[in-house]
Structure 1
Amino acid sequence: MYDLIRAKLAKGDTVILDGGTGTDIQRRGVPMSSNTWCAEANMSHPEVVREVHADYIKAGADIIIANTFATSALLFNALGRDDELLAIDRAAVAIAKDAAKGHPVAVAGSMSTMRPVVAGSDRTSKQQDWPEDKARALFKRKADNLAAAGVDLIMMEMMRDTDYSVWATEAAQATGLPVWIGISVERHDGKLTGFGREDQDFDEVARVLSALKPDAISIMHSSPNDTDEAIDVLRKYWKGPIGAYPESGYFKMPDWTFVDIIPPDELVERSKVWKMKGVSAFGGCCGLGPDHIIALHKAFS
């Protein structure tokens, strides 16, 4: 199914991504886990997860992303749940593939470097780190499992540094599947850095991750304002396809707070500006739902 996406990108056509999966699951009343956010929903509420995917397909998404962001190899290792991660991911991919059946839609597996998050915040706990060889092994296990489950591509999401993000991406690329890198940014002292990694200058992150030569690079889970500047920086190093799928609202573990959500028409106007900068894939991340994807599909398809 990824051949359809590849052909669209080659022709310069627009690709529509889905919106925030985890936050839409929460919006539909599924309780979030204090440790693993939306990961448990794949097992406890599979019908709701399927409904979320189905609604994004109905909205016009060309790619849906299985609910595997929060099943981070690092997070589940910290919790002593390595084997459970594999089972949850298989279930998540099966749910997404079932929703996509009969539709010209690619199913992506999501990989993140999410670590334990401090309760009531969106900040990573600083209490645990992993040596490179251990982290690479954990990322490889997850990537191989997603590939075996039958995803069409792997979306690296919330990449933000020049260590864990590189190791995770190389594990995904080793599967032979198409890989998109999604980079998240925020602003510290007026300067763009990796999200939650104020020690990581975004310019350097963009340079290093571009050198990995993925199939596409997106700016994602970033504010619309920061996305503007991040696209300009990324363009210095990356000449391939670019995506943009911002967040709106804010996270206080384990729940997303739906305040000041960007209206669909404003997202479309922002996306038109990004398109003029060379962006060809559009969607939404946390806080953005099917209405946003409907608006993007109408504007660009």
Structure 2
Amino acid sequence: MRVTLEETLAKTNIMVIDGSMSTALEALGCDLNDSLWTAKILAEQPDLVRQVHLNYFRAGADCGITASYQATIPGLTARGYSLKEAEDCIARSVELFLEARKSWWAQEGRDSGRAMPLCLGAVGPYGAYLADGSEYRGNYGVSDDVLRDFHRRRMEILWEAGSDLLLLETQPSLHEALIEAEIAEELGADYWISFSCRDGSHINEGDRISDCAAALAQNHPHLRMIGVNCTPPQFVEHLIGELKGSTSLPIAVYPNSGEEYDPATKTWHGSRDGVTFGDYAHRWMRAGAKAVGGCCRTVDSHIREVTKAREIYLKLGR
């Protein structure tokens, strides 16, 4: 039996999303300077992925994102994995989440009054597979057939393995997102779409996010949520407003910490703007976000801040 987004929102009012898988793994001593990124740890040290999920549940996360963002069939087979090994690795990302959820629920979740955490099967864009920062640009120059072939089998595996929703995340391109949405609809899978954005109005490929929301508003009955991630936090409040003007779907936001990514060195740099992540989270809730968490450079301490911000927001009603 799958957990539904509607059940979770009814229980939580505002849902806390988990934080970065990559930064949390690095904090556990993992070296992710590899084209497979977190998929390398998924394949070689799965216990660490399970531990990250547990840490986020304990920090207050009501949903979690599987470690499948960079786990693609062409990416894994190019590194010597057989087709079956690649498919098993993708399925394992869901299995690890479900194992962690079962353990946490038995130990503390059931008696805490918390919601059963949603399992979000992460589907990264084609640009993530390229491992060159293309998820921050889009405009890949490949055909629709290439995109369909790239996404379909992974989405099937994640859904069949037991994801509660498919999370089509860090999408720089409306065109690619529409292709993925078509696949999800064909699978009969509930899903949400999260775009990566260049500023307070535009996704990374250049479309206005309000136009993206409008394009998805019709003929997508399994689309349950829409939002933004892997985006500087200072843009998020305005992006929420842009989305609210074009969709009645609940809005989810989980931006980066505020640092900038250098795809050449695969490192993050730059200073944050002095606003705490918890203060930002409170602003986003006031702006209308129904789910809030963190992406790159966030860890369980950031999610604790989000959990506290929700507590304050719900107590004050503003």
TM norm. shorter chain > 0.5: yes
Aligned-partner residue type, residue 237 of structure 1: S
- In the TM superposition, what is the alpha-carbon distance from 1:38 to its structure 2 partner? 1.6
Structure 2 residue aligned with 1:206: 213
Task: Give percent identity, aligned residues only.
Answer: 23
- In the TM superposition, what is the alpha-carbon distance from 1:160 to its structure 2 partner? 2.4
Aligned-partner residue type, residue 174 of structure 1: E
Structure 2 residue aligned with 1:96: 97
Distance 2:138 2:279 in 1: 36
Distance 1:77 1:279 in 2: 39
Q: 1:257 aligns with which of 268, 285, 288?
A: 268
Q: 1:276 aligns with which of 271, 286, 298?
A: 286
Structure 1 residue aligned with 2:7: 7
Distance 1:142 1:122, change over 3 A: closer
Distance 1:288 1:258, change over 3 A: farther
Structure 2 residue aligned with 1:21: 21
- In the TM superposition, what is the alpha-carbon distance from 1:58 to its structure 2 partner? 0.7
Structure 2 residue aligned with 1:117: 131
Normalized per residue, the structure richer in strand is: 1
Point out where structure 2 has 5 or more consecutive residues left out of the alignment: 106-115, 312-318
Distance 1:255 1:182, change over 3 A: same
Q: Is the 8 A contact 2:3 2:118 kept in 1?
A: no
Task: Tell me whether 99-108 or 51-60 shows the greater mean CA deviation.
Answer: 99-108
Normalized per residue, the structure richer in helix is: 2
1:70 aligns with 2:80: no
- In the TM superposition, what is the alpha-carbon distance from 1:48 to its structure 2 partner? 1.4
1:238 aligns with 2:247: yes
Q: Is the 8 A contact 1:122 1:251 kept in 2?
A: no
Task: Tell me whether 206-215 or 136-145 shows the greater mean CA deviation.
Answer: 206-215
SS of the aligned residue for 2:256 comes to coil
Distance 2:185 2:269 in 1: 34
User: Please, what TM-score do these two structures have when normalized by structure 1?
Assistant: 0.85
SS of the aligned residue for 2:189 comes to coil
Structure 2 residue aligned with 1:288: 298
Task: Tell me whether 44-53 or 203-212 shows the greater mean CA deviation.
Answer: 203-212
SS of the aligned residue for 1:101 comes to helix
Task: Tell me whether 238-247 or 100-109 shows the greater mean CA deviation.
Answer: 100-109
Q: Is the 8 A contact 2:136 2:196 kept in 1?
A: no
User: Please, what TM-score do these two structures have when normalized by structure 2?
Assistant: 0.81
Structure 1 residue aligned with 2:151: 139
Distance 2:195 2:297 in 1: 17
Aligned-partner residue type, residue 225 of structure 1: Q
Distance 2:11 2:118 in 1: 18
Query: How do 1:142-161 residues align onto structure 2 when only pairs under 5 Å count?
Result: 142-161=154-173
- In the TM superposition, what is the alpha-carbon distance from 1:275 to its structure 2 partner? 1.6
Distance 1:296 1:266 in 2: 10
Q: Is the 8 A contact 1:153 1:179 kept in 2?
A: yes
Structure 2 residue aligned with 1:86: 87
Q: Is the 8 A contact 2:135 2:170 kept in 1?
A: no
Distance 2:53 2:122 in 1: 14
SS of the aligned residue for 2:119 comes to strand
- In the TM superposition, what is the alpha-carbon distance from 1:186 to its structure 2 partner? 0.8
Distance 1:52 1:261 in 2: 24
How many corresponding residue pairs?
293
Superposed CA deviations along residues 28-69 of structure 1, whole A, max 9, x for unmatched, are 221114322221110111121111111001111111111011
Point out where structure 1 has 5 or more consecutive residues left out of the alignment: none
